[in-house]
Structures are given as C-alpha cells and as structure tokens.
Chains A and B, each alone.
Chain A
Amino acid sequence: MISPETLVFGVLAALGLISMVATFMAVMERDLLKAVLFSAVQSTAYAFMFYILMAPDILLVYVPVAVGLYPAVILFLIKKTERFEGGEEE
C-alpha cells in the first residue's frame, strides 16, 4: 500500500526526470523546430510541478507564458532566420 505522500513525491520525481530528458534532447537537437518542441515538453513538466508544489499563482502565469508565448516567439524567430543549427542539413 503506497501512502498519498509517497505517490505525490513519486510523481514529482518522475516529472523531474522527464524534464531532464526533455532539456537534454532540446539542447542536443540540431533541428531547432524539434528543439522548441522538446522545450515545450520540459515547460509542461514544470507546469505540473508548480501545481503539485502548491503554487497556483505561478501555474496561472507559467502556462500562458512558457507553454503558449515562448514557443510562439521562438517559432517566429526560426521562421525569420534559419532552421538548422550550424547551417543547412548536411
């Protein structure tokens, strides 16, 4: 029988590991569009963390900013500049 406390902290630990994998993939990916997608996955994990860590105010400001506006701004940037890191696809 798992206690509620262990369950909640287990979800937190899983979110931490998910965000770590997503951050790693975002930083290592050469296709910048895919990097933005991985960054959005990391933001979603952080949003759930804010919810579980009892910060509803931060959740309300973080969801529009980090899941909505950040990817949109970076996508505008990629559209206006270049898509692949280190020149075009080899």
Chain B
Amino acid sequence: MIDVNAFLFSVLVFSLIMNLGISLYGIFWRPSLVKKIIALTILGDTANVLAIVVGYRAWIAPNRPPIPPVLTTWKPTATDLSKFSSLAVDPLPQALVLTAVVIGLAVTVFLVFLTIQVYRLHGTTDVRKIAKLKG
C-alpha cells in the first residue's frame, strides 16, 4: 500500500534533486558565462531548499501541521513549551540558510563584476572564444 502523502513529498525531494542535476549541467556545459551564473544561483537556491526540507517534520495528525520555530507567547507555561517543541520544525537549517542566501547574493555580484571585466577586455562572454584567445 502506497502512502499518498509520502509519495507527494518524495516528488518534491526528487524534483529538487533533478534541479541540482540540471543546474550542474548548466554550469559545466553551457558556453555563456551569464548562463553559468544563472545556473549557479539555481544550484545554490536548490541546496538551500533541500536543507529546509531536511528540517521539516511529519504532521502529527492530518489536520495538525507543524508550526514555525517562533514562540507566540511572552509568558509561557511548561505545557506551552513542551507543545512548542513537539510541533515546531527544526530551526537550525533555517538559521544556516538565512545567512547563505545573503552571502550567495554578494558572491554572485562579485562574479557579475568579473564577467563584466572579461567582456571589457575580450569583447565576449563565450568561454569557447575566451579559451582560444592568446595573451
């Protein structure tokens, strides 16, 4: 007997893994440096979503979803705290992804400046033509 929910969640996971493969193809085989940058951003984003998926947890009942890792009361009782920790998703991957997204943009911007500089010097962003240049 196949669990429909597990099937649908596995579709998500495997489509993300396929995205990793497609973006790696883009980085390695497409000739344009701009296309390589676009594929690199997709690779980074996909890795981030996979990290969040690892931190997700199953529903405890068909109508009780997990909650975000944010406590909504300032004066919690012991019951509130145990309910919170039994329902909330893992906050650690979220904290790591949070910084990774911003740093990823900064590094991408640096790559963009490098590509502009290559175009200024050689007049092309095609790696096949750049490889043939001498000097």
Binding site for B on A (CB under 8 A): 3-6, 8-10, 12-13, 15-17, 19-20, 23-24, 26-27, 32, 35-36, 39, 42-43, 46, 49-50, 53-58, 61-62, 65-66, 69-70, 73-74, 76-78, 80-82, 85-87
Q: Are A81 and B15 in contact (CB under 8 A)?
A: no
User: Among the listed A10, A50, A70, which residue makes an inter-chain contact with B41, where contact means beta carbons less than 8 Å apart?
Assistant: A70
Nearest to B29 among chain A residues (CB) is A27
Encoded as 1 (CB less than 8 Å from any A CB) or 0, chain B from 35 to 53 comes to 1011101100110110011
- Rounded to whole Å, the gap between the CB of B6 and the closest CB of chain A is 8
Q: Are B65 and A8 in contact (CB under 8 A)?
A: yes
Q: Is the interface of A mostly helix, strand, loop or mixed?
A: helix
Q: Which residues of chain B come closer than 8 Å to A80, judged between CB atoms? A: 116, 119
Binding site for A on B (CB under 8 A): 4-5, 8-9, 11-16, 18-19, 22-23, 25-26, 30-32, 34-35, 37-39, 41-42, 45-46, 48-49, 52-53, 56, 59, 62-63, 65-70, 88-89, 94, 97-98, 101-102, 105, 108-109, 112, 115-116, 119, 124-126
A87 to B130, CA, bound (A): 13
